[in-house]
Every structure is written in structure tokens, then in C-alpha cells.
Amino acid sequence: MPFHHESDFQKLGIEPTQHQIVVVKIGYLEPDLKRMAGKALLALSPGVVNQAITNLPYRRIQRPIYPLDPDMDWQLA
């Protein structure tokens, strides 16, 4: 189950505002969680949606392409 709302924690008897650190595995903070967060950090990690696109195994693309090839030549043909 995703934890997108303060009430999702509270249903399990957890009051997230009473903790210094709360970790959720979602791509971005939903408005309810952002409201509670004093500070938010995003850490890329493997999962269903991998945001580290340079680590994905591309097979059917024309190379070079940014950002997969950061040293590519930007000259127009």
C-alpha cells in the first residue's frame, strides 16, 4: 500500500509528525506529506519505476543521445 497521506500512517498507529525522520518510497511527495515535511530528500533507488534512466538497458535507440551519452557531439548535421 502506498503511503500518500498522514492518515495512512495513523491507521497503523504511527504519528509521523512525532518522528525526526520518516522515509517513504514514492517518486515525489504528495501534498499531504510535503506539508508535514520540514525537509525532503529524493534518493534514486531501483524499483518499479527507475528514475535513474542512464542505468536502464536501452537497446533500440540511435546513439549518441543525451543524457545517456553526456560527452556527445552537439553539432547539428
CA distances from 3 to 10, 39, 43, 53, 70 (A): 10, 17, 17, 24, 35
pTM above 0.75, yes or no: no
Higher pLDDT, 77 or 67: 67
Digit-coded pLDDT (tens) for 7-49: 999 999 999 999 999 998 887 889 999 999 989 988 887 777 7
Written as one string, the DSSP assignment of 3-60 is --SHHHHHTTT--GGGSS-----SSS--HHHHHH-SS-------SSS---GGGS---S
Digit-coded pLDDT (tens) for 39-53: 998 888 777 777 788
**What pLDDT score was predicted for residue 42?**
85
